[in-house]
Structure 1
């Protein structure tokens, strides 16, 4: 019996990586979005954007990030869907009370924050733009991961913090802040 318990405990980490509990059901990589929504409910935030584009063809791959906020006693979950299938799930920082006012100022915009955390704290940006890159380390990593070659998006969001402060340009790759820089003051 003791040997069985040891073997079961050794298998649990590998089983946990394949599927995870959501509500009363299990969600697994490869599930369709409708299956995930049936088990987990409607996500608290969804970000959809193109992930790969081929010159002369256009967008050939999309990604969706679904965020679930279980409240301050548990971690926020991010589910990543590529081309209509659940590819991965990861845990972020602790959740927050629904409807809680965000604390937005330039100091809270830190590398590694998710797009959901930024929108929750600061609301939608003043402006957004997507630039396409082809030859940096990020795109080489994405090419290996997706099997596609081409160009990949980098999102930039502009936030304004009042007439006495510089605007901030927040750069996202794969749904997380990679850089925050100051821009000019509002006119």
Structure 2
């Protein structure tokens, strides 16, 4: 009887505790999955920590400007940070962005070296605060490689992305840093002129 109980416990532990797939996750006991309307996700999970509307001229990428938003749920350092992408009010994609963290209160102590490729917009804002300047906010075609080094292919070898450029001022003793974000993720950084006192 001992072997049977051990096998049953192993089976239950392996399959019943398996994490939710990339198409779904549990939010306060409710299952949230791709295809769900935004209102249902908000009812199950509550208010997101950060909402990022992707608004721009999407005629390049989609023919019409879709209503797109990215929601971030930060439940603290003991749980995964969840990023949800909505298109036209429906959940299109779910991904995790490492473990959550305690949000900072007050001024940031961000350094240029803190900004790394693959960093989410939410993590960037939490680490470095608001940029000195924003530009872009448009849908464009990109042929950049993804974080694994693979080229992202779609129509004509390019993929439509929402691109923004932010400039951070780290003061007169450091250089300005221009950060390029695509679909709310850091894809490139460039050093500009010397910073200034604000």
Q: Name the TM-score class by shorter chain.
A: 0.7 to 0.9
**Conserved? CA contact 1:51–1:62, under 8 Å:** no
Separation of aligned partners in 1, 2:162 and 2:23: 28
**1:178 partnered with 2:184:** no
Task: Kindly state the Cα deviation for residue 68 of structure 1 after the two structures are TM-superposed.
Answer: 0.6
Name which of structure 1's ranges 99-108 and 6-15 shifts more when overlaid on structure 2. Answer: 6-15
Q: Identify the structure with the greater helix proportion.
A: 1
**Conserved? CA contact 2:164–2:181, under 8 Å:** yes
Larger Rg: 2
Change in 2 beyond 3 A, CA 1:142/1:154:
farther
Q: Secondary structure at the match of 1:78?
A: strand
Q: Runs of 5+ in structure 1 lacking a partner?
A: none
**Conserved? CA contact 1:52–1:150, under 8 Å:** no
Task: Kindly state the Cα deviation for residue 9 of structure 1 after the two structures are TM-superposed.
Answer: 5.9
Q: Deviations over 1:108-143 (max 9, x none)?
A: 0000000000011111111111155346357x9475
Change in 2 beyond 3 A, CA 1:112/1:133:
same
**1:154 partnered with 2:163:** yes
Please report the RMSD computed on the Cα atoms of aligned residues, expressed in angstroms.
Answer: 3.2
Q: Runs of 5+ in structure 2 lacking a partner?
A: 146-150
Change in 2 beyond 3 A, CA 1:18/1:135:
closer
State the TM-score, normalized to the length of structure 1: 0.79
Change in 2 beyond 3 A, CA 1:98/1:165:
closer
Q: Deviations over 1:57-81 (max 9, x none)?
A: 9752242110011111122110111
Q: Secondary structure at the match of 1:21?
A: strand
1:167 alignment partner in structure 2: 176
Task: Kindly state the Cα deviation for residue 13 of structure 1 after the two structures are TM-superposed.
Answer: 6.4
Name which of structure 1's ranges 59-68 and 169-178 shifts more when overlaid on structure 2. Answer: 59-68
Q: Deviations over 1:78-117 (max 9, x none)?
A: 0111121101111112211234565411110000000000
**Conserved? CA contact 1:52–1:153, under 8 Å:** no
**1:54 partnered with 2:59:** yes
**Conserved? CA contact 2:161–2:183, under 8 Å:** no
State the TM-score, normalized to the length of structure 2: 0.75
**Conserved? CA contact 1:51–1:152, under 8 Å:** no
